[in-house]
Amino acid sequence: MTRVVVPVRYPLSKHSRATLEEAVRVARERDAELTVLHVDLYQSNRGVTRTELKRAVEAEFGPLVRARYVVRRGFLVEETILEEVAAEEADIVVIGSKQASRWRRMLRRFLDDPDIDVFLREKLDCTVITVRADD
């Protein structure tokens, strides 16, 4: 079965809602499992729970079939997302354009030409869909 991972902020921002909307559409279209991921940074320690994340998502989109809600703690959002994508063996990752920009900056430290789509496809064997929310 196809697995879709979508990292989001909590509380849901306008950009997170747009990214999540696309992830829900892709998951429904492909009859896929959906993992909604929030990274709670150690340095912020907001104590976000899976229940809070699920309620926020369902308030926007209603109950989602085959969805799981994951809150991970980490020091770096991008690294924690990559770890979750690898652990889930995701087939598709849906990220917001702002997140893609942060990943590019992070990868620039390690690579000469950081193309996040190519990096994820080669390293994690998944498709990356980047969503741009209207500002």
Whole-prediction pTM: 0.86
Beta carbons within 8 Å of 65's beta carbon, 6+ residues apart: none
Using 50, 70 and 90 to split pLDDT, how confident is the model at 77? Answer: confident
What are the residues facing 62 on neighbouring strands? none
Q: How far is residue 120's CA from residue 125's CA, in Å, rounded to a whole number?
A: 7
Residue 114 has pLDDT above 90, yes or no: no
Spell out the domains of the chain, with CATH numbers in brackets: 1-129 (3.40.50.620)
Q: How far is residue 35's CA from residue 43's CA, in Å, rounded to a whole number?
A: 24
pLDDT of residue 105: 62
Neighbours of 97 (CB within 10 A): 13
Q: How far is residue 117's CA from residue 89's CA, in Å, rounded to a whole number?
A: 16
